[in-house]
Structure 1
Amino acid sequence: MNASTISVFFLSGLNETSRNQRSALFFLSLLCYCITILVNISLILIIVLDKALHEPMYILLCAFWINALYGTAGFYPKFLWDLFSPIHVISYSGCLLQVQVLYSFVCSDLSILALMAYDRYLAICRALEYHSVLSVRRVIMLACSFWLTSFFIVAVNIFITSRLRLCSPYIKRLFCVNWSIVSLACFPNETLMNAIVANMTIIIYTTIGFCIVWSYMYIIKICANSLENRTKFLQTCVPHLMSLSTFILTILIDLINSRLSSKDLPQTLQNFIAIEFLVIPPLMNPLIYGFKLTKVRRRIMYFVTFRYKKI
């Protein structure tokens, strides 16, 4: 069977979920999606409309939250539709598009976290050079170029996958992932190029992850000798570390489950593990930054109290 003859994929992740459970899951998922959209858009607008927050760190946060909206848009609408659909199908092109969105979202998140680490390194360790090295315009260009690079790297993976001849349209997941499509290949020897490019991608972003960790370790070492730097670290770096920890933990759990998935695990638990990186970080990150960053918190409080007084 040729890949071109497969027009749709069948997703089996929800097959064992009862109708009552699907109803509860639908309302819970819809609530999470609405809150995710609300908090991310609210914080984006606060930064865009407030000129006092037009600084490199806040521009990167804005890019971070825009990327969260981009990634969740690739998952929630289709997932919510499937919860009330008797047959869970997705078109061949739609499946590849979903993989492109979800994978580029993850890679872009890590890239933006790397830029955040570099921003904090300059602000704390090379404070006198900060504004000359990292302007708002340069940050916007770097964020866009990093996002485009991530999009291109993922697109290469997807293009190679699209050339495979597939012998089955059944994907045992809630949504499309690249390795699930590759595993359907008629001839395993044809997937060698997929494995090479995928491993190269993993090496690139694992290296970026190690660089981020090393940067914060270096910043902590520098901050240990200065009360002023310790205060700056607690105010601005702790939210970054919390986001980084959440990101790494959710991705590692998903990777371990993908590579070492056990059939003994309940389907509900497998589903939760599969979607946590799409649910937890986009929802938690804006809340973390909104509460921890002083300037953002003050702007939120000012907006809320101002609206309350007008009412």
Structure 2
Amino acid sequence: MDNVSTSFVLLGLSEMEGLRYVYCAFSFIVYLFILGMSFMVVFVVMTEPSLHEPMYILICNLVLNGIVGSSSFFPKLLIDLLTSSKNISRDACFIQFTCITICAYFEIGTFTIMAYDRYLAVCHPLRYVTLMTNDMVLKFILGFLAFSVMAVSIGAFLTDQLHFCGTHIQNIFCDKMSLLVLSCTDSTTNKVHGEAVWSVYLSVTVSVIIFSYINILSICLKLSKESRKKAIHTMMTHLLGFSVFIMGVLFVFMRYRLNGIDLPITVHSLFSVIGLVTPPLFNPLIYGIRTKALKVKMIQKLQKCNLLTTFRYNIYSHKCHVKTLLL
């Protein structure tokens, strides 16, 4: 296959062919759950003035990123399973892996801002309102987003310059690693760029996160019992979300390390999917359940919806009853 070939074959979809309707139904339920929970969090944060604070803006940003990442994967998968298609065009392939990789970069950037936000809130409470404003949070978000797009776009451009000697991708979606395996030209520059940027970025962001939470822990030991309990609860919520993301990264890393071993395509696909789907699936749950103010507002919204439905049902029943009496 030369550099101008127009499509690739996703071998992972062949493995799903026998139970494609089962996989399709399961994927649809998971995707629907991600969208439902995530949009609920976003809606509550946007419509509740009391939640227009840095921490909730960051939670909203995190789940929005999950929506984008999962939407780069699930719709194409569902269509492929329904139509028994195994092909993906070259352009669609590059768009898919670029979007997924940007979301991965941006997600750890968001966790870094969240850690720094909590560090300022706990360690510098008197200066917090001036150091971490909504405008400052938006600047941090835009900065990490710009870096993510730039870093990944350079990698995508370098990948686009490669010549490919195969068409078969051992996965159910496009990822950069699978494309590099298909390359029959020297991809050293591409690999060095990707590994160097990711390693430096991960080292810096994780260092900031560790620094923030170590300082938070040291301050918590000096706080009153009630304040310490609240601070640790918030910290553990963020650490839980970050741990889910790191678990996903580890699965992708394991697949990368096992790439030279002759493993079933199902194993390669499983590692990739777990790494991709786990964060957007669990983040809305973690922050929706463990963040008290957000959980309360979500419950109130759901109760209002239920009351509205009940009210409409009662009105409809009353009208039917009146018509029956008139007849």
TM above 0.5, yes or no, is yes
Partner Cα separation in structure 1 for residue 173 and residue 32 of structure 2: 20
Q: What SS does the corresponding residue of 1:9 show, helix, strand or coil?
A: strand
Unaligned 5+ residue runs, structure 2?
A: 311-327
Task: Choose which of 60, 67, 70 in structure 2 pairs with 1:69.
Answer: 67
1:216 aligns with 2:208: no
| Cα distance in 1 for residues equivalent to 2:20 and 2:266 | 11
Distance 2:85 2:54 in 1: 47
Kept after mapping to 2: 8 A contact 1:124/1:232: no
Residues 1:141 and 2:133 aligned together: no
Displacement of 1:213: 2.5
Contact 1:71 1:105 in 2 (8 A): yes
- Separation in structure 1 between the aligned mates of residue 85 and residue 105 of structure 2, nearest angstrom: 31
Pick which of 71-80 and 255-264 moved more: 255-264
- Alpha-carbon distance between aligned partners in 1 of 2:274 and 2:93, rounded to the nearest angstrom: 19
Matching residue of 1:249: 247
**Structure 1 segment 225-304 matched on structure 2, within 5 A:** 225-227=222-224, 228-261=226-259, 265-304=263-302
1:161-205 deviation per Cα after TM superposition (whole angstroms, max 9, x unaligned): 101111112211111111211121222xx2121022112222223
* 1:86 to partner: Cα distance: 3.1
1:294 maps to a residue whose letter is K
Mapped contact 1:56–1:119 kept (Cα < 8 A)? yes
Give the CA RMSD over aligned residues: 1.7
Establish whether residue 206 from structure 1 lines up as the match of residue 202 from structure 2: yes
Deviation at 1:83, TM superposition (A): 1.6
| C-alpha displacement of 1:90 | 0.7
* Residue-by-residue CA offset, 1:17-66 (whole Å, 9 max, x unaligned): 342x2111110100000110011011101000111000000011111111
What one-letter code is carried by the residue in structure 2 that aligns with 1:170?
Answer: H
> Are residues 18 and 262 of structure 1, via their aligned partners in 2, closer, same or farther at CA, if it must alter by over 3 Å?
farther
Structure 1 position 267, deviation (Å): 4.1
Q: Does residue 25 of structure 2 align to residue 27 of structure 1?
A: yes
For residues 17 and 191 of structure 1, the distance between their equivalents in structure 2, rounded to whole angstroms, comes to: 31
Q: Could you tell me which of 158, 161, 164 is aligned with 2:162?
A: 164
Please say if residues 17 and 81 of structure 2, whose CA atoms lie closer than 8 Å, have aligned partners that are also in contact: no
Name which one, 1 or 2, has greater alpha-carbon Rg.
2
Tell me, yes or no, if structure 1 residue 8 matches structure 2 residue 4: no
Q: What letter corresponds to residue 211 of structure 1 in structure 2? A: V
Partner Cα separation in structure 1 for residue 127 and residue 184 of structure 2: 56
Alpha-carbon distance in structure 2 between the residues aligned to 1:252 and 1:307:
40
Letter in 2 for 1:210: S
Structure 2 vs 1, CA of residues 179 and 214 (structure 1 numbering), >3 Å: closer, same or farther? same
What CA distance in whole angstroms lies between the structure 1 residues aligned with 2:260 and 2:211? 34
TM-superposed CA distance for 1:251, in Å, is 0.9
CA gap of 1:229–1:203, structure 2 versus 1, over 3 A, is: farther
- Find the counterpart in structure 2 of residue 119 from structure 1: 117
Equivalent-residue separation in structure 1 for 2:165 and 2:122 (angstroms): 55
- The size of the alignment, in residue pairs, is 307
SS at match of 1:258: helix
User: What stretches of structure 1 of length at least 5 have no aligned partner?
Assistant: none
- Matches of 1:197 and 1:286 in 2, distance apart? 33
Which has the larger displacement, 155-164 or 136-145?
Answer: 136-145
Inter-partner Cα distance in structure 2 for 1:10 and 1:264: 19
Distance in 2 separating the partners of 1:18 and 1:10: 14
SS in 2 for 1:304: helix
SS in 1 for 2:151: helix
1:260 Cα offset (Å): 1.6
Q: Letter of the aligned partner of 2:285 in structure 1?
A: L
Answer yes or no: is the 8 Å Cα contact 2:123–2:215 preserved in 1: no
Structure 2 residue identity aligned to 1:237:
M
AA partner of residue 226 (structure 1): L
For residues 57-103 of structure 1, what are the alpha-carbon distances to aligned partners after superposition, in whole Å with 9 as ceiling and x for unaligned?
00111111111111011100111122233341111111111111000
The equivalent of 1:153 in structure 2 is 151
Equivalent residue for 2:192?
A: 196
Shift of 1:288: 0.9
2:9 aligned counterpart, secondary structure: strand
The Cα of 1:291 is off from its aligned counterpart by 0.9
- Relative to structure 1, the CA distance from residue 265 to residue 184 in structure 2 (aligned partners, 3 Å threshold; closer, same or farther) is closer
